[in-house]
Each structure stands twice: as C-alpha cells, then as structure tokens.
Amino acid sequence: MPVVAMSDGELLRFDTLSRVERGELRVEDAALLLGLQRRQIFRLLERLRTDGASGLVSRKRGRPSNRRHSEAFRGRILSIVREHYHDFGPTLAREYLAERHAISIGCETLRQLMIEAGIWQDRAARRSRPYQPRHRRECRGELVQIDGSEHAWFETRGPKCTLLVYIDDATSELLHLKMVESESTFSYMEATREYIERHGKPVAFYSDKHSVFRNAKATAKGDGMTHFGRALDALNIEIICANSPQAKGRVERANGTLQDRLVKAMRLEGISTIADANAFLSSYRLTHNARFARPAAGSRDLHRPLAPRDDLHSVMVWREKRKVSKALTLHYNKILFILEPTAISKALVGKRVHICEYPDGQVEIRHEERSLPYRLFDKMPRINQPAIVDNKHLDAALMLAKQIQAMAPHHRQRNNNAPARRDQPMHLFPEPEAPAKVDRRRLGGPKLKRGPRLSEAELQARGTLEFVKAR
C-alpha cells in the first residue's frame, strides 16, 4: 500500500470529506468547516473518489515556484559571489550586490543559494561536534598518551623547541619529559628508549596522526608502517592514533599546563638551553606529579619488562633496504657505500641488506644481525675551483659554469624521504649550503652601455660620413 505524505490541512480535508461520503456530515457544514464553497467541496469529492487520498495532495508540491528566479539570474549571482564575496556572509554579500552590482535579492534567498552551492554553511553545519568524555583506563601503563608541544619554552633566552610529553591515562602522571629540537622520528625513538628503560613496555601508546606514527600516504611502500611504528611492533607495543585533539585531551591539557608552569620555573632557574632543560625536567616532573597526579582505579602496573630478545639499540633505528651490486656497492641518500671485499660481503651480491641509521647519527649496514664494514663515497662533494690559467676564454667559461650550477640547486639536495636530522648530534649526510640567487640577465659579463640617443640629422650626417669612409 503506497504511503501518501500530507500536511495537517490536507489531513483535515480528507477526514471531513470522508465523513461527507459516509453521510455523517452535510455538504454545507463541510464547506463551513473547510472555509470553501459548495462547488469546491463537490470538486474535491470527485477527486477523492477518483484518485483516493493522494488526490487531495496539493498539485504544486514538488514543482518550482512561479516566483522562482531564473537559472541565468541565479548563475550570475553565484558567479559574482564566488569571484568577489566567497568569504562574505549572506547579509553582507546582499548589501554589496545591491550597492556595487545593482542586484536586488532577498537575504534568505541568497543564503539558500550560497548553501546549495557550498559557499556558505548554515548554523547547524557550523556548530562544533560534541565530544563526550570517557572513563580513564583502570591500570597504570595500560595507555600512555604521547605528544610533542612546540613552544617558546625559553621565551627570549633561547630558540623555540619541542617538548615530548608522555602521560599516563589512568593517573595523569607525567612518566617522561624530553626537550628536543623538533618533533621527528629520531627524537621520539630516543625519548621512547629512555622511557622503556625507566618504566618498561606499556600496553599501548596513544598519539595524534603525525607522520612519525602514521603513514598518511595511501600508496605506502612495504607494510605501510612508519619506522617508529615498526620499532614499536618489534617490541610488542601497540600504537593507536586519535582522530581528533579532543580524543587525547589528557596530554593536550598537560601541554597547556606545562606551557604556563614549566616556562616560569625554567625562567626562575635561568635555563636557556636544551641540555640544561633536560637535566631540570626530572626534578620538575616529580613536583608536577605530586600536584596533579591521582591514584589509578586498579592497583596493577601493566608495564612489562624487556624480554631477553629485546634490544632497544638495534630496534630504535631508521631501517632501509638496499640491493648490493656486483661491485659490492649500494646507494643510500646520494651516498655510495662501498663494502669491504670480505667473504661475507662477496656472497651478498644481488641480495638485499639493511641500512640502519641510529638516532645518534651512526650508520650500520647489517645482514642477518651481522654488521658489514664499509667506506663512503659522497656523490655530492663540494666543487673546488682549480687554478685558472692565463686564458681569458677559459676564465669566462668557468665563471659561466659556476653561475649555471648555482642556479640548479636541485642537483645538490638529499632525498626527500630521508628522516629529519635536527636532533642528531653527528651524522653522515650534511646538507649543502643553499646557493645564492643569480640574476640570469648578468650571465656572461656586464651588459654594454648604450650611447646617447642621436637626432635624425645627426644620424643622417653620420651615415653620410660612414659612406664616404667606406669609399
């Protein structure tokens, strides 16, 4: 049986006309109740007998209004709004349309047009999503929230840096703090290694969707895990990424508290370097926990000790695979690694080995847990200008070559997928200095100066003189 959508007035008409059909109500009384004439009542009765209840539904429903603006007019308004007033509200856009374009349109009409075109959102769409609070985890070490807070921690006494915060979800206890140059894979590896050595392995880390924890590319190579995620997987630690900052509100609120209290505490101590800050954070963490930490609902501590097979030094690395060539060489980050010709390395021709880059800058080439000796050949050496002989053509050619090389800095850059190394004290991959910008118009020497502009009479006289000299 089909379902007919009717308004309240249409339902009243259907009920009244049904009573007339059953003989319970006179036509005159029905006309009085519905506010219609007798002839309209008979017309509606005929429609009810022919089409049923759907015959009483307004014929205008679903059809465009007769007062609707034309499509050309609507398109013209939307094109003007997109070009000039894309970030204006409907009320302000309507005022400028009338003032600058002589277009008169109702405010509500313009608002509906902008909503349909996706230029404006109504109040319900702009209302922030509600985030319901959740209960804490029951035991310590069950869920540890981690985050990096970039801030001017030393105010004007030092550069801006990042504080890595590890806070327990069950107790709001700051389990570890470390000041680093930036929020990078190596900084998290080093801080997590210190955390595990002090407390043990937690059940799970709860983080944001930073590229350290989650590979945002759909076409990720291999298993799709990040280097930090692969290290945690080897240690049997789960990594969970929050969908919003509100979901990990525990560590976000702790960041706000630290940006207020820790900054002032380091100001009183006169701390202005990262090394001094890391030495101070251990004592500050105890003071903070005594003020803000609370007991957990459960008495167990779910931190697990390291297993005999767990080697933090070999796990917390940036690991890449490379194929060994017949010349016992492999390429990584525009550096040629040349393996020493030992019996082990000769047997690895055509096979893949692991290049392990540690947070302290050390690089190892490993195969089945064995380290292979190597030497380096950097493919990005600095250009040393040789002695220039007394030849003006060679001098000009060399100057031109240097200027052209300076204009092509992309030939002197490392790989884009290499890790950030701001937190490594020493490493093998120094970035070349950015070349100075060169004006192409000045290549090949200075431009010749123009002489004074001559009049037509002087040009004619000079032309006659040149003709006489030629003869």
**Which letter, b or e, does each residue of 323-339 get, where b requires 16 or more Cβ atoms within 10 Å of its Cβ?**
ebeeebebebbebbbeb
Q: Decide if 336 contacts 380 (C-beta within 8 A).
A: no
Q: Each residue of 374-414: pLDDT tens digit?
A: 988 876 655 455 544 445 455 666 666 676 666 655 445 56
SS3 state of residue 89? coil
The owner of tokens 């405010």 is 107
Q: Decide if 90 contacts 112 (C-beta within 8 A).
A: no
Q: How confident is the model at residue 68 (pLDDT cuts 50, 70, 90)?
A: confident
CA distance 353 to 53: 79
Q: Longest Cα pair distance anywhere in the chain, in angstroms?
A: 129
- Residue 3's pLDDT is 78
- Pair of tokens at residue 451: 């002489």
> Highest mean pLDDT: which of 50-54, 66-70, 196-200, 463-467?
196-200
Q: Each residue of 118-172: pLDDT tens digit?
A: 999 888 877 777 777 888 999 999 999 999 999 999 999 999 999 999 999 999 9
Residue 57 predicted with pLDDT over 90: no
Residue 25 predicted with pLDDT over 80: yes
Single-letter code of the amino acid located at 230: R
SS3 state of residue 206? strand
Among the listed residues 180, 177, 167, the one whose alpha carbon sits nearest the alpha carbon of residue 254: 167
- Residue 292's pLDDT is 94
**Which letter, b or e, does each residue of 271-281 get, where b requires 16 or more Cβ atoms within 10 Å of its Cβ?**
bbebebbeebb
pTM of the predicted model as reported, rounded to 2 decimal places: 0.63
- Please give the residue that has the higher pLDDT: either 370 or 423: 370
Beta bridge partners of 367: 370
Q: Decide if 202 contacts 144 (C-beta within 8 A).
A: yes
Q: Each residue of 266-280: pLDDT tens digit?
A: 999 999 999 999 999
Question: What is the chain's alpha carbon radius of gyration, rounded to the nearest angstrom?
Answer: 39
Residue 436 predicted with pLDDT over 60: no
CA distance 351 to 367: 10
Q: How confident is the model at residue 426 (pLDDT cuts 50, 70, 90)?
A: low
To 10 degrees, what angle do helices 185-199 and 227-234 make? 20
The owner of tokens 């319970």 is 24
Annotate 378-412 with DSSP letters as a single string: ESSPPPPPPPPPS-HHHHHHHHHHHHHHHT-GGGG
CA distance 175 to 192: 11
